[in-house]
Amino acid sequence: MGLTSNKVLALAVIAAVLLFAATIWLWPRLSRSGWRAVTGRIGLLLATQFALFAAVGLAANNSFLFYGSWADLFGQQQDLGVVVDHSADGKRIKVVGTQKLDVPGGSRPSTGGQIQKVVIAGEKSKIDSPAYVYLPPEYFQPKYKKSTFPASLVLTGYPGTAENLLKGLKYPRTAFMQARDGKMQPMILVMMRPTVAPPRDTECVDVPGGPKTETFFAKDVPKAISETYRVGTKPRNWGFMGNSTGGYCALKIALHHPEQFGAAAGLSPYYKAADDPTTGDLFHGNKKEKSRANLLWSLDHLPQGKSSFLVTTSKEGEGNLKSTLQFIDKVKSPARVSSITLDSGGHNFNTWRREIPPALVWISGRISAS
């Protein structure tokens, strides 16, 4: 059983409950003096504490996915990355693995869709980064073999891992269920982390002399995906969404590149580039670029395209309520803006899991296949 298995968590909870009950039951017998009674009390207390901490730790890991496997937890995952050469055949995407969805009939792509693990090589940015591509079941069905599909780029927060989007936030399963129930159209999801130059947080900007992260996400990724899969190249064919840093990136790049993205959803986003030890000097004194990375400034000073925006916040628990209301107020025609405001919800996976289903439906209604 894997580290993130619900069975492992259930066993840990059961063990903690049984040990607690055993401690209550046996404590009178162990209340006597003597080394055996003392040893018994110490053993029961330590075992109960260990089981309790294990259950809490497993629950936290299942929610936030700090570690993906036992090998990852114990530092045994030491395999080096594989260099993939894309230049020989001109292809910018290399498929390195596939996996099925945890849905009924998930073993058959035409029924459950498919998740492909890929490496994307940036033509202009020269950045190579792993990604997961979710292909809906319709992509593999004969009657859709000549059809194109809308696509959305999905980013995690910083530092994050792309696996969080699959296991923690369950984007592919949610998209499958929403499309199956007729709430959204079948859509391709390109799931990535914003950290293309780990451990640095580049805030999706083109750093002078450094990673051209904005170019990678705004130009290279859509081009590579459209050349490899049946996805159009017009802004109405593309959406962008993410949480936290990924939400900031989605809004920022769609705002600055309406020629590429027709819609963007920011879940718990912030609205200007962070400036801390994880980012380093992103702008090298360029005040214009620093101002441009402030979305509220951009809305006031730069032309607004036809992109649609969705922003989320909560009345209690999020720190972005005031700036989200400012963002909403500053979006002007021809751009459009929508919002989700929860009564309460913190900056965490539980909040985003409540927002992802309606956000997917929203973005599906703002982009199209053709």
Of 220, 219, 213, 270, which is closest to residue 243 (Cα–Cα)? 270
Both 256 and 328 in one domain: the answer is: yes
Please answer whether residues 260 and 312 qualify as being in contact, where contact means their C-beta atoms are separated by less than 8 angstroms.
no
**Residue 215: which of 205, 202, 227, 226 has the closest Cα?**
205
Q: Are both 63 and 205 inside the same structural domain?
A: no
Is residue 87 in a domain? no
Of 138-147, 159-168, 264-273, 305-314, the least confident: 159-168
Is 90 exceeded by the pLDDT of residue 5?
A: no
Q: Which helix (H) or strand (E) holds 276?
A: none
Q: Is residue 272 part of a domain?
A: yes
pLDDT (0 to 100) of residue 63: 61
One domain for residues 42 and 115: no
Average per-residue pLDDT in the chain? 89
Token pair, residue 160, equals 């994050």
Tens of pLDDT, residues 192-206: 999 988 888 999 999
Percentage of the chain with pLDDT > 90? 64
Residues 206-219 have pLDDT tens digits of 999 889 999 999 99
Same domain, 50 and 100: no
pLDDT digits (tens, 9 = 90+) for 310-359: 999 999 999 999 999 999 999 999 999 999 999 999 899 899 999 999 99
| Single residue among 73, 103, 126 that ends a domain in this structure | 73
CATH number at residue 169: 3.40.50.1820
How many independent structural domains does the chain possess? Answer: 2
Q: Is 242 a residue whose pLDDT tops 80?
A: yes
Whole-prediction pTM value? 0.79
Q: Residue 38: which residues within 8 A CB-CB, separation 6 or more?
A: none
Same domain, 69 and 170: no
12 and 136 in a common domain: no
Q: What is the pLDDT of residue 51?
A: 83
Are residue 129 and residue 267 in the same domain, yes or no?
yes
Q: Please name the residues in contact with 13: beta carbons below 8 A apart, sequence gap of 6 or more.
A: 55
pLDDT (0 to 100) of residue 72 = 57
Count of residues in the chain: 370
Per-residue pLDDT at 233 exceeds 50: yes
Q: What is the mean pLDDT of residues 111-124?
A: 94
What pLDDT is recorded for position 53? 85
Are 166 and 51 members of one domain?
no
Nearest to 30 by CA among 44, 17, 20: 44
The residue range of the domain holding 253 is 93-366
Would you say residue 113 has pLDDT above 70?
yes
Listed in sequence order, the DSSP H helices in 113-170 are 163
Specify if 237 maps to a domain. Answer: yes
Q: Is there a domain that residue 84 lies in?
A: no
Q: In what order do the strands lie in the sheet with 188-192?
A: 93-99, 114-121, 128-135, 188-192, 151-155, 238-243, 263-267, 308-314, 336-342
**What whole-number distance in Å separates Cα of residue 125 and Cα of residue 178?**
34
Pair 57, 119 in one domain = no
**Which residues are within 8 A (CB) of 283 and not within 5 positions of it... i.e. 6 or more apart?**
205, 208, 289, 290, 293
